[in-house]
Amino acid sequence: MNEHLRDLRDRITRLGQGLDVDALREQVRRVEAEMARPGFWQDRATAQARVRELEAAKGRLGEYERLTAALDEIEVLFQLADEEGDEGTRTEAEAALAKLEQDVERVRLQFLLSGPYDASDCFLALNAGAGGTDAQDWTEMLLRMYTRFCERVGFAVRLVDESPGEEAGLKSATLEVKGKYAYGYLKGESGVHRLVRISPFDSAARRHTSFASVTVTPIVPEDDLVISDDDLKIDSFRAGGPGGQHMQKNETAIRITHLPTGIVVGCQNERSQMQNKLTAMRMLRAKLRALMEQEHARKLDELRGELADIEWGHQIRSYVLQPYQMVKDHRTEVEVGNVQAVLDGDLWPFIWAWLEAQQILPKA
């Protein structure tokens, strides 16, 4: 058990080294001193950014200190159990150690998420690419996969927009995901996803390849990004659906075009036009912030044509159902043979590998 404790302490120490605990303490001291100066709140946007910076630094520092304190307490429990031969105390210490190991993994994952919006809620948008009806069906399968993942993690997930396919599936869909580190967990899922299977829509039962894209953007505070009304074109229309008696009679759905960039967002699943507009504006703000965060600016025509490359050669992950079963991430080389488990929302192997590949922290 002593070896077990030493191993866990080494892992926590490596977390502290990756965090640079001394630098975090200095950051907390510096921001608190800045906040104490007169006139700090005169520039509200800058002040709120500093408050978020302080909260993030204190949160990381607090988590690390909590882990080290918990380990110290467990070591004392084991010492007492050995000195007094108390099996009850030993059982208590072993249970606490098992829980602490889980906490270390959870905290390590959160420490891998160092971006300014990693702790934020997010929008996850899906778009069918090359592959016709199969691609639209694949888009619906991905919607189910991400919904299941979010439910497993404990995130609140809500469908805010969808465009049904002509025969089956979805042309596009957008989920709003709410929960601590929702964007951080899901941001690595952005990209083209490829499916290989025997098509259920092919009477000859031939193997087909289809594609769909995933785009994950953080939900940012309203004061983080001011959008001029003059830059917007807002259209209202009837919400789509199966038709018949369920067809929406009023023009409650909203489509907003940001004229300078050509970015288009839409929402039709809220109860009123005003609610749809508010949600669409949040989606637009998220996309614009993500655009501003890109390391290299893209040309406007590339932004408008972002769906053109949802095809062969651009995929980040392949899901193969025939002639064998395998899910492979082409960025990290992680492979999982249980395809059904992945489609049921077990995405952790890919999320862990992608985050660690960013080389933010050494592996624990």
In tens, the pLDDT along 124-139 reads 999 999 889 999 999 9
Residue 343 has pLDDT above 90, yes or no: yes
Decide: 196 and 322 in contact? Cβ < 8 Å: yes
HSE-CB of 114 using CA atoms within 13 angstroms: 14
- Looking at residue 43, its pLDDT comes to 87
Residues 6+ apart with CB under 8 A from 227: 258, 281, 284, 285, 288
Q: How many whole angstroms separate alpha carbon 157 and alpha carbon 335?
A: 27
pLDDT band at 156 (very low <50, low <70, confident <90, very high): very high
pTM: 0.68
- In contact, 225 and 282? CB cutoff 8 Å: no
CA distances from 64 to 9, 10, 190, 362 (A): 12, 13, 30, 15
Element containing residue 277 per DSSP (H, E): helix 273-293
Domains of the chain: 2-112 (1.20.58.410), 116-364 (3.30.70.1660)
The answer to which of 160-169, 220-229, 312-321 has the lowest mean pLDDT is 220-229
Residue-wise pLDDT for 41-61, tens only, equals 998 888 888 888 898 888 888
